Amino acid sequence: MEPTVDSAVNAAQIGNTWGMIIYCVVVFAIIYFLIVRPAKRRLAEFKKMLDSLKVGNRVLAAGIYGTIKKIGETTIDVEIAKGVVVEVSKNAVANVEK
């Protein structure tokens, strides 16, 4: 019994469907490992840095270097010059010098 044209077309469509599924899985894996996973790691490191803030640390916040004088729930008071204290969002802290 010879294969018919219809069975060959159906086999090609099934193979094409599996190829598309495998392609989508590979693309998703590449996106996850190159974009999502490193972003999660950077966010975890940033949160760890914010949790380690202490009074007296020198920080770079919003492009200004200063020393932490007070830590609030979402903000910190940073002394940028003798007697000059500004309130800055914790999320604006870019670097901490211990």
> Following DSSP, what letter does each residue of 45-77 receive, concatenated?
HHHHHHHT--TT-EEEETTEEEEEEEE-SSEEE
pLDDT of residue 5: 53
pTM metric for this prediction: 0.69
Mean pLDDT of the region 28-42: 95
Higher-confidence position of 15 and 68: 68
Mean pLDDT of the region 70-98: 93
pLDDT of residue 26: 95
Q: How confident is the model at residue 18 (pLDDT cuts 50, 70, 90)?
A: confident
